[in-house]
Amino acid sequence: MFAFTVTAQNNKNMARCGRLQTPHGLVETPVFMPVGTRGTVKGILPRQLREAGVQMILANTYHLLLRPGAQVVRDLGGLHRFMGWDGPILTDSGGFQVFSLKSLRRIGRDEVEFASHIDGARVRLGPGVATRVQNQLGADIVMAFDECVELPCSRERMQDVVDRTIRWAGQSKAAHERDDQWMFGIVQGGTDKQLRSYCCEKLIELDFPGYAIGGLSVGESHEQMIETVAFTAPLLPQEGPRYLMGVGTPRDLVAAIGAGIDMFDCVMPTRNARHSSAFTRSGTLKLRNEQYKLQTAPLDEECDCYTCRNFSRGYLRHLFMVDDKQPEIAGPVLVSLHNIAFFQWLMAQARAAVSENRYEDWARQWADYDIDRKNNNDV
């Protein structure tokens, strides 16, 4: 049911293309996964995701555990049927919520206790629970439970994070019961190369079929992140997929592919769209800006997504400006569709550049990609 094959390798850096076979279909890598936290990519239908070129999506263990509950999802046919998405799915373990909900949790040796952000109810999540929940949800790829911490971080604290992550990885693998799911281990260690190397070594001993690099895009600079990725990726097995979690901007993605990463996820395409920000080949557009009021051009002249084929910048700006508190819902939806399509186009361009052995030259144009143009001041 599972296989990963490297199909092309750039000869000037670590960039590569691959084919990831899963029980729910083939994924061409490098791949970017839109985030469907609660079992849906906000505002976007599964059919629209397919039309935008999406191959694989991510869902969140912690949030689906709270609502509707893993057993409910299982009883309704599993996550694929529940979501109406017949392609590959990856579920994170809930480890990121150890970081993002730090004001609502307490970390113990073998579990994390949360006060639910919904109603304050006590929620316990650890390697065993996170794995059982992911087994019930039924995604193609599931993640070992880990701890993520904000940077900068003291070395003593980071050593604790790495030790706990390694211990939890072993417990996660021991609890994993489904042969039709691949489980990935997650490498922690911040920007400390010695700890990253140690964590890789110990996780590789557990023999996961794939590995993720976690604990980045949490406070470090772009340069620190890419330096860490470029150091860590070669330490991981060449024959398995490498996944950089929660990243990011176009320049982050392009640089990380050059360092050998195969898989990505991030909320940025849809989150930024809900705040009127559109990604284009020449930079980002903040659609609330006055300058777009009378523009008849699409978001991106070269894009063939549904939004760019049918709507002008002026119209999209109107959808965000009709109400001071809340835009017309079509605005975030249409810009989300475009942003998702843009990220899928970017991955397709990266795969072509690797296959044609011109990745280094192609990547240069993205090194200074502007994600929020300084001359576009909101009005």
CA distance 13 to 229: 13
Q: What is the average pLDDT score of the chain?
A: 94
Q: Residue 106: is it exposed, middle or buried by C-beta count within 10 angstroms (0-12/13-18/19+)?
A: exposed
Find all residues with CB under 8 Å of 120, minimum gap 6, and list them.
none
pLDDT-derived band at 374 (thresholds 50, 70, 90) equals: very low
pLDDT-above-90 percentage for the chain: 86
pLDDT-derived band at 375 (thresholds 50, 70, 90) equals: very low
Does the structure show a pLDDT above 50 at 378?
A: no
Token pair in block for residue 379: 């009005």
pLDDT tens, 281-306? 999 999 999 999 999 999 999 999 99
Decide the pairing of beta strands 3-9 and 283-286: unpaired
CA distance 46 to 44: 7
pLDDT tens, 126-158? 999 999 999 999 999 999 999 999 999 999 999
Find all residues with CB under 8 Å of 111, minimum gap 6, and list them.
124, 125, 126, 127, 129
CA distance 127 to 161: 14
Clarify whether 265 is annotated catalytic.
yes
pLDDT tens, 345-373? 999 999 999 999 999 999 999 999 876 53
Token pair in block for residue 80: 């694929």
Helices 155-175 and 127-137 pack at an angle, to 10 degrees, of 50
Does the structure show a pLDDT above 70 at 376?
A: no
Residue type, 187: V
Token pair in block for residue 237: 């097995």
Q: Which pTM value belongs to this model?
A: 0.95
324 SS3 class? coil
CA distance 310 to 306: 6
Q: Residue 71: is it exposed, middle or buried by C-beta count within 10 angstroms (0-12/13-18/19+)?
A: exposed
**Alpha carbon distance, N-terminus to C-terminus of the chain:** 53
DSSP state of 366: G
Does the structure show a pLDDT above 80 at 335?
A: yes
What was the pLDDT predicted at 134? 98
Token pair in block for residue 76: 């309704």
pLDDT-derived band at 117 (thresholds 50, 70, 90) equals: confident
CA nearest neighbour of 228 among 266, 260, 185: 260
CA distance 321 to 318: 5
Token pair in block for residue 114: 């949360």
Query: Cβ distance 132 to 178 under 8 Å?
Result: no
Residue of 140, 146, 265, 300 marked catalytic? 265
CA distance 304 to 44: 17
Query: Cβ distance 336 to 273 under 8 Å?
Result: yes
3-266: CATH topology is TIM Barrel (3.20.20)
Give the start-end residues of each E strand in 83-234.
89-92, 105-107, 112-115, 122-125, 141-143, 182-187, 210-213
pLDDT-above-70 percentage for the chain: 97
- Beta bridge partner(s), residue 105: 114
pLDDT (average), residues 217-246: 97
Residue span(s) of the chain under CATH 3.20.20.105 come to 3-266
Residue of 92, 140, 252, 262 marked catalytic? 92
Does the structure show a pLDDT above 90 at 246?
A: yes
Phi, psi at 6, each rounded to 5°: -80, 125
Query: Cβ distance 243 to 29 under 8 Å?
Result: no
CA distance 42 to 339: 13
Residue type, 351: R
CB atoms inside a 10 Å sphere around CB 104 = 14
- Beta bridge partner(s), residue 265: 33, 247
Q: Can the peptide bond before residue 68 be classed as cis, meaning omega within 30 degrees of 0? A: yes
DSSP state of 371: S
pLDDT tens, 74-111? 999 999 999 999 999 999 998 888 777 777 878 888 88
Clarify whether 372 is annotated catalytic.
no
What was the pLDDT predicted at 373? 36
